[in-house]
Amino acid sequence: RGKRGLRHPTLPSSMLCHRSPPGRAT
């Protein structure tokens, strides 16, 4: 999770953890 967060600091950790598309903000 931490590595992905650093790669995508713009997206919330929740989205990175679930790896959901940009359309799914929540």
The 10s digit of each residue's pLDDT in 1-26 is 555 555 656 666 655 555 656 655 54
**pLDDT of res. 6:** 58
**pLDDT of res. 10:** 64
CA distance 26 to 20: 9
8: tokens are 């995508």
pTM attached to this predicted model: 0.15
